[in-house]
């Protein structure tokens, strides 16, 4: 696809095809001493590479402005004497997926949309829109375009550019984009101060709206679901395929390649696996949440309302996990009966996870195939749910002695050692301080009475001002600090979960909403 600029092709044909003389091509290194004049010559790109290497710092990368980077790129990548046709945009940037690869790869994409398709018209020249093409490229399971991070980002960039046409770029930077089903690009400018509490929630106002809704529709459980790729239904077959390395049989003479090339094959498999696993998880998690919301056959009964949110950890490339607020149907139960019912759904130790008299019910419902699955489930719970690995997210400082084990403790309370009577459900007051100005305002409106002589604390006259923490009942002999779960949900998923009771904890629901909305990325 490289044509000499001095060829004899008709000028009319050349004028109709956009061309560019900037591209990345392998450069032949010259000898240090030229045979013509004896002077030392080095290709320009080598000088820039060496300069960049010298300027690299171990703790801070020197980054130029966009104009500076563009200037350097033009110098390094320009090849004089040649011009490159950009009639087929995707094929030029990603030849491995298109025509260059079709000679030896039977799964290569045959054909590529011409450059004329990248204009404002929705279906230019009768071709599918760029949005339809991007969806096909990203979701076609048998195409290599669906497993390429760079190509997926490139397709998103095209849609983002189309969505930002005619807009101030500063607005896009400030609010980002959100999904739009009516826009030709599939995107629209995000709204910083408005949320309908569906599809996405990316604003402080939306979090406040959700907190206010808790006054009318109180939530009873705060649940977290984290997929375990090895055991979760709908995902474990993909993990088994990758770990078994049976896929290497599809690469001719895999074992005869040197280790460096085998590592390249393994990395390609990881990239393809990541995309496929992500798509499967998004489908599986949708079906799983629909079951939780709609099913009435589990122990938790009917769900009256629910709110779920995906969270992606910024320091991890794993699948997203799910945070949810669930409200259960009270039926004819009074407050105490309902609180007891919600607390009974929570299990806090491996021994209490599935009682012996519950095994047959789990078998009848299909959660267990036989009694052997009961043993497997408990062993998996001890491995997955035990809170033994700590990081900066789950530690809090309690002292400044300089000894790590004394200065930091786990935020997760132990159900046995941190409770007064571990055999019953307890609700402990959370340590919460109010400023003097706040107390004066609360006193003026009748929500607070200052302490009388001899008392340490005053009295609050509204339950929301007295938040509590729930500690579930557990067997006194339990020593593993297990994350509390619903037994049926864990038996089905065999994955990390966390179920916190927030019924009767007063203002904790609003606190949970604030933290989850402001510290998470949707």
Tallying the residues shown for the chain, one arrives at 522
Q: What is the pLDDT of residue 389?
A: 65
Half-sphere exposure of 379 (CA within 13 A, CB side): 6
Q: What is the pLDDT of residue 485?
A: 94
Q: What is the pLDDT of residue 201?
A: 54
Q: What is the pLDDT of residue 206?
A: 63
Mean pLDDT (the chain) is 79
Q: Give the sheet arrangement for strand 19-20, strand by strand.
A: 3-4, 82-85, 19-20
80 close to 21: Cβ distance less than 8 angstroms: yes
Q: CA-CA distance, 346 to 500, in Å (whole number)?
A: 8
Q: What is the pLDDT of residue 242?
A: 93
- CA distances for 374 relative to 230, 323, 356, 366, 384, angstroms: 18, 27, 9, 12, 15
468 close to 427: Cβ distance less than 8 angstroms: yes
Q: CA-CA distance, 52 to 45, in Å (whole number)?
A: 11
Q: Which of 400, 420, 395, 398 shows the shortest CA–CA distance to 410?
A: 395
Q: Which residue has the tokens 């297990």?
A: 482
Structure letter (DSSP) for residue 244: H
Name the pTM for this structure. 0.72
Across 384-405, average pLDDT:
77
Specify whether the backbone of 504 is left (phi greater than 0), alpha (psi in -120 to 50) or beta.
Answer: left
Q: Which residue has the tokens 């779920």?
A: 308
**pLDDT tens-digit readout, 418-427:** 889 999 999 9
Q: CA-CA distance, 47 to 41, in Å (whole number)?
A: 11
Q: What is the pLDDT of residue 75?
A: 64
Tokens of 98: 């298109």
Is 60 exceeded by the pLDDT of residue 132? yes
Q: What number of H helices and E strands is found in the chain?
A: 18, 17
Across 490-507, average pLDDT:
89
Q: CA-CA distance, 166 to 184, in Å (whole number)?
A: 14
Q: What is the pLDDT of residue 84?
A: 65
More confident residue, 295 or 182: 295
Specify whether the backbone of 399 is left (phi greater than 0), alpha (psi in -120 to 50) or beta.
Answer: beta
């Amino acid at each position: 696809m490289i044509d000499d600029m001095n060829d004899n092709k008709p000028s009319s044909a050349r004028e109709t095809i956009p061309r560019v003389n900037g591209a990345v091509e392998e450069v032949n290194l010259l000898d240090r001493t030229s045979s013509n004049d004896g002077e030392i010559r080095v290709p320009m790109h080598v000088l820039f590479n060496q300069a960049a290497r010298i300027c690299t710092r171990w703790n801070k990368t020197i980054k130029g402005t966009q104009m500076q980077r563009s200037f350097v790129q033009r110098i390094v990548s320009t090849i004089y004497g040649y011009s490159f046709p950009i009639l087929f945009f995707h094929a030029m940037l990603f030849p491995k997926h298109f025509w260059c690869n079709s000679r030896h790869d039977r799964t290569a994409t045959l054909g590529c949309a011409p450059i004329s398709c990248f204009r404002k018209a929705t279906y230019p020249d009768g071709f599918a829109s760029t949005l339809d093409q991007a969806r096909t490229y990203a979701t076609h399971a048998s195409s290599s375009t669906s497993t390429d991070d760079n190509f997926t980002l490139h397709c998103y960039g095209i849609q983002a550019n189309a969505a930002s046409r005619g807009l101030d770029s500063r607005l896009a930077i400030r609010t980002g984009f959100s999904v739009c089903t009516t826009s030709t690009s599939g995107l629209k400018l995000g709204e910083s101060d408005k949320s309908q509490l569906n599809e996405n929630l990316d604003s402080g106002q939306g979090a406040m709206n959700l907190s206010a809704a808790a006054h009318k529709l109180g939530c009873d459980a705060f649940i977290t679901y984290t997929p375990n790729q090895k055991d979760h239904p709908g995902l474990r077959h993909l993990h088994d395929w990758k770990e078994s390395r049976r896929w290497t049989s599809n690469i001719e003479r895999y074992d005869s390649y040197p280790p460096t090339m085998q590592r390249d094959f393994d990395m390609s498999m990881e990239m393809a696996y990541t995309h496929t696993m992500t798509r499967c998880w998004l489908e599986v998690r949708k079906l799983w949440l629909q079951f939780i919301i709609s099913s009435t056959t589990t122990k938790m009964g009917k769900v009256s309302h629910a709110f779920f949110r995906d969270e992606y950890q910024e320091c991890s490339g794993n699948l997203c996990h799910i945070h949810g607020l669930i409200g259960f149907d009270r039926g004819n139960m009074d407050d105490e009966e309902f609180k007891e019912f919600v607390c009974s759904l929570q299990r806090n130790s491996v021994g209490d996870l599935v009682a012996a008299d519950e095994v047959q019910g789990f078998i009848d419902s299909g959660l267990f195939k036989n009694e052997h699955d009961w043993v497997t489930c408990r062993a998996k719970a001890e491995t997955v749910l035990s809170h033994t690995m700590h990081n900066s997210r789950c530690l809090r400082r309690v002292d400044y002695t300089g000894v790590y084990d004394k200065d930091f403790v786990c935020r997760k309370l132990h159900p046995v050692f941190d409770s007064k009577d571990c055999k019953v459900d307890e609700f402990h007051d959370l340590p919460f301080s109010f400023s003097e100005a706040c107390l004066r305002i609360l006193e003026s409106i009748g929500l607070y009475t200052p302490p009388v002589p001899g008392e340490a604390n005053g009295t609050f006259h509204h339950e929301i001002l007295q938040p509590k923490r729930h500690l579930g009942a557990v067997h006194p002999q339990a020593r593993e600090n297990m994350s509390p779960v619903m037994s049926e949900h864990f038996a089905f998923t065999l994955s990390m979960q966390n179920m916190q009771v927030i019924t009767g904890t007063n203002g904790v629901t609003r606190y949970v909403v604030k933290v989850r909305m402001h510290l998470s990325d949707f």
